[in-house]
Amino acid sequence: MGKANEIRVLVIDDDYFARSDLVGRLARHSRIRVVGEAASPKAALELLRSKALDAGPDVVLLDLAYEDAGFRSAEFLPELRALLPDAKVLGLSVREDEGLALDAIRAGVHGVLWKNEVRGRICRAVIRLHGNGCVFTPGVAQHLLGKVGPLPGRAQVIEAPEGRWLTPRLEQVARLWCEVGMTAREIADELHLSEQTVRGYIKEIYQVLGVADDDSAAARRQQAYEARAGGES
């Protein structure tokens, strides 16, 4: 029997050494118990159907770059989610591929991490995911902010450089600013805040996400604004 507050994890990765490294890191954390590992999504599904695990996983770590006979990891997600409706799925990829991340999010993962960004922080990411719903490393956040709509019913938590995370309020402002294309004044009216407070939030968002180029951020916001204006015309 496991501890009452433990987080049970299933690791799916076809790279034996990467999988072993993940399992080793997770096993060293007092709150995390690895209940199973598999070299492919198909093998994981067979493992789950066989009921060979002594406990169902709370979190599944899934290698997104896996491909077999033309089928990618994201295409196994509906069946995986059907077998584990309450589990959180965290996609991992050594390849920083925006399309791969978008496909995975649309298929239902609760977070995406680039492997080179998560080394040494995987346990914290699993705990955050289990408790809050979504987790992204900075590289993924910068790629996806403004390109993926809100994920209903899930807390939006983005892992940031130096261990900092966007709070729910910063996440809310970030989406209105970068995705919807609202001005600071419009956000202030929407959230019943002062414009000065909103501008302070925007500055903090840039710092947390590591966006140093204001022109790039403004261009991203302008693209979203034009898309919104086009849809209203």
Q: Report residue 154 as tokens.
A: 């899930």
Which residue ranges in the chain fall short of pLDDT 70? 1-2, 4, 69-70, 117-120, 132-133, 137-168, 178-180, 206-233
Instruction: Give the pLDDT of residue 5.
Output: 83
CA–CA separation, 88 vs 3, rounded Å? Answer: 19
Q: What is the CATH number of the domain that holds 112?
A: 3.40.50.2300
pLDDT digits over 132-162, tens only?
667 776 666 666 655 554 443 333 344 444 4
Residue 156 backbone phi and psi in degrees, to 5: -95, 105
Residue 181 backbone phi and psi in degrees, to 5: 90, 20
Domain membership flag for residue 61: yes
CA–CA separation, 97 vs 83, rounded Å? Answer: 27
Domain membership flag for residue 9: yes
With a pLDDT cut of 90, the percent of the chain lying above it is 16
Count the neighbouring beta carbons within 10 Å of the beta carbon of residue 34.
19
pTM for this prediction: 0.63
Report the number of distinct structural domains present in the chain. 1
Domain membership flag for residue 95: yes
CA–CA separation, 221 vs 217, rounded Å? Answer: 6
Domain membership flag for residue 150: no
Domain region containing 62:
1-132
Q: Which helix (H) or strand (E) holds 211?
A: none
Q: Amino acid letter at 102? A: L
